[in-house]
Amino acid sequence: MDKRQIQLSVPNLDIEILNNLRECIETGWISTGGRFIAEFEHKIADYVGTKDAVSVQSGTAALHVALRILGVEAGDEVIVPTLTFIGAVNPVKYLGAEPIFMDCDDSLCIDAAKLERFCSENCHYNGKELINGKTGKKIKAIVIVHVFGNLADMEKVMDVALKYNLKVLEDATEALGSYFTEGKYKGCFAGTIGDMGAYSFNANKIITTGGGGMLVSNNQLHLDEARYLTITAKNTSPNEALFFVHDEVGYNYRMLNLQAALGVSQLERLEQFIKAKNYNYKIYKEELKGVNGIDILPFRNEIRSNHWFYSLFIDDKQFGMNRDMLMYSLIEDGIQCRPVWKLIHTLKPYLNSQSYEIQKAENYADHILNVPCSTNLTSEEVKLVCQLIKDKAIK
């Protein structure tokens, strides 16, 4: 079998995208002004069903601004998952607050049952604020990450948030297009259930603007504040704008018109991309069925997932080699793959942070392998990856 290079997750761009980019260049609107910014914002809001959307430079920037808007300040604490990309947690530190790390459930998203137990057994609620029994500090918010296009148990999460007056920020950077098909939030998209939601359009995401992100909410005041803060808190009344009046410390976080031009074109293909992701996931599932020690992780039954990333769970005793051995062997065969993130509470900047009953996340961190999942991946390429994996199994 011939070797070939198959990347993990690459952009799927159409030549038609050049029409939008050409307009930006011809009109000179290539920076933080131009018609595509507003168009992209409106189309994202229409797609997910929120009042409005505010574009920013990255998903991390979106989370940073959102936490500030939701009232997180220096000295506060924020509950976060440990099984996630570090960009979901660093913004807590940007604001001088501290994270409290939570375990995951089998969806890889935050364990809502442990979240409830932590709040009820390890904290004190005074009728207004949730106080951490260990530190005596106020817990202001929960960051929920919808990992790999799966969805967290938002019914339980929102019940906890309501009970203890906690703000909920949904990190939906990996889950654009995922929504609930059953339950209380039937029809609701990832990012639209909590107080604010964030998306990412990094090059490896299901749609891309090269970089960039988006904030959504059904609270117009939150969105107005986000729009203000992300233009360096520059006052927009004609006279004050002319003389560069800034009443707060803001951020230079606005998306470029060039990026938004890419986004408008990409969004038109989102449902097509989700179909491709779902189709290839099913091929992986079928091709690897019956291979001892290899399980492709499922998505929740009550959702329509965007199937952003595919995760294999490697049982080394049954398969014959551990996750890392299989990963390096596939890389040598030209197949790009990767482990799940190193758990954030084990990283140097967070070694002294509080964590609560981390168990499942440790097991998944040791055994998950992410395999190629690009939306332009062919069925033949998927089968090649699967055959290479099967060839390495114990005979």
Q: What is the per-residue pLDDT across 34-64, written as a single tens digit (0 to 9) for each?
A: 999 999 999 999 999 998 999 999 999 999 9
Strands 213-217 and 196-200: antiparallel
- pLDDT given at position 2: 53
Q: Is the pLDDT of residue 1 over 70?
A: no
Whole-model pTM: value is 0.96
What distance in Å separates the CA atoms of residue 139 and residue 97, rounded to the nearest whole number?
Answer: 10
The CA–CA distances, whole Å, from 186 to 121, 145, 319 equal 31, 19, 39
- pLDDT given at position 242: 83
Q: Is the pLDDT of residue 356 over 80?
A: yes
Is residue 339 within 8 A of residue 9, CB to CB? The reply is no
* AA letter at 104: C
Mean pLDDT across 91-106? 98
Sign of the alpha-carbon torsion through 106, 112, 113, 117 = positive
* AA letter at 369: L
Mean pLDDT across 9-32? 93
- pLDDT given at position 3: 61
Question: Pick from 362, 215, 199: which is nearest to 270 by CA?
Answer: 199
Is residue 255 within 8 A of residue 212, CB to CB? The reply is yes
Q: Is the pLDDT of residue 207 over 80?
A: yes
29-43, 150-164, 226-240: which range is least confident on average? Answer: 226-240
For the chain, how big is the Rg over CA atoms in Å? 22
Mean pLDDT across 322-327? 98
Is residue 209 within 8 A of residue 263, CB to CB? The reply is yes
What distance in Å separates the CA atoms of residue 379 and residue 381, rounded to the nearest whole number?
Answer: 5
What is the number of other CB atoms lying within 10 angstroms of the CB of residue 9? Answer: 23
Mean pLDDT across 359-388? 98
The CA–CA distances, whole Å, from 93 to 135, 140, 235 equal 17, 14, 27
25-34, 96-105, 251-260: which range is least confident on average? Answer: 25-34
- pLDDT given at position 198: 98
346: part of which helix (H) or strand (E)? none
State whether residue 231 is helix, strand or coil: strand
- For residue 304, report the phi and psi dihedrals to the nearest 5 degrees: -105, 105
